[in-house]
Amino acid sequence: MAERVYPADSPPESGQFSGNFSSGEFPRKPVPPPSTYVIQVPKDQIYRIPPPENAHRLQYLSRKKSKRSTCRCCFCSILAAIFILIVLAGISLAVLYLIYRPEAPKYSVEGFTVSGINLTSSSPISPRFNVTVRSRNGNGKIGIYYEKGSTVDVYYNDVDLCNGALPVFYQPAKNVTFVKTALTGSKIQLTSGMRKEMRNEESKKTVPFKLKIKAPVKIKVGSVKTWTITVNVKCDVTVDKLTAPSRIVSRKCSHDVDLW
């Protein structure tokens, strides 16, 4: 009896797998076609080790990044130091203020005599003023040095009639000082309108003048002296006549300070 011959299974096509999953067999990896090569390269060689031709570029970028990071750190350190200094200075000033309780000196005009103003002639005048200024330092622990370079001027209707300076002196704490100064002017030409106005005001015994003082001072706190500070004093002074002795009818002073 002839035996039957069964045809053999055809080989699996590309992409198909053979095997019995139920029996624990797994599909085999596809065999690469002829003339195909598979090269496996470790990951650290791909991402961490640059090829030789790019090594110098990596070094340049690394140095540049390190330099930028160093500059950023230095800039942040400088800003932090400045901020700390500002905070410490503010705390120091607050402590000094609480300890010494500084207050501005007060000024007033106590004497103001006028001479040398002739209103009957059209010739230039050479006025003279003797001014006495009262300075009160009410601070308990602060002294004031009045330095050289001060100016004192007397104005009438914005015309500078005469000028002078304050003497150099030291005013201790809790002190009242009367400062006398002589002011002179030379060849001051007044308009006919000003002469007429001054004669009218003198007849009413109310001749107004403006006194302006600019004094450089240094403040003494304990044993420490500050930088030079400028005190500006402005006073409106009205007198009864333009001859000596004249009497002050009204006076009002204000002041401000230039710290720098």
Q: Tell me the average pLDDT across 180-208.
A: 95
Give the DSSP letter of residue 246: P
What's the farthest any 2 CA atoms get from each other in the chain?
171
Q: Tell me the average pLDDT across 41-69.
A: 57
Q: What is the pLDDT of residue 206?
A: 96
pLDDT grade, residue 126 (50/70/90)? very high
pLDDT at 42 over 70: no
Q: Tell me the average pLDDT across 168-181.
A: 96
Q: What is the pLDDT of residue 3?
A: 47
pLDDT grade, residue 15 (50/70/90)? very low
The CATH fold assigned to 106-258 is: Immunoglobulin-like (2.60.40)
Q: What is the pLDDT of residue 89?
A: 78
* Angle CA 206–209–215, to nearest 5: 150
Q: pLDDT tens digits for 98-124?
A: 555 678 899 999 999 999 999 988 999
Per mean pLDDT, which range of 70-84, 152-166, 171-185, 205-219 is the poorest? 70-84
Find how far residue 214's CA is from the centre of its chain: 23
Residue 107's alpha-carbon distances to 85, 133, 154, in angstroms, are 36, 7, 16
User: Mean pLDDT across the chain, nearest whole number?
Assistant: 81
Per mean pLDDT, which range of 5-14, 82-91, 196-205 is the poorest? 5-14
pLDDT at 68 over 70: no
pLDDT at 50 over 60: no
Give me the residue spans of the domains in the chain. Answer: 43-100, 106-258
Please state the φ and ψ torsions of residue 37, each to the nearest 5 degrees. -120, 140
Q: What is the pLDDT of residue 83?
A: 85
User: Contact, 158 vs 188, CB < 8 A?
Assistant: no
pLDDT top residue among 167 and 31: 167
Please state the φ and ψ torsions of residue 94, each to the nearest 5 degrees. -65, -40
Q: Tell me the average pLDDT across 169-190.
A: 96
Q: What is the pLDDT of residue 75?
A: 75
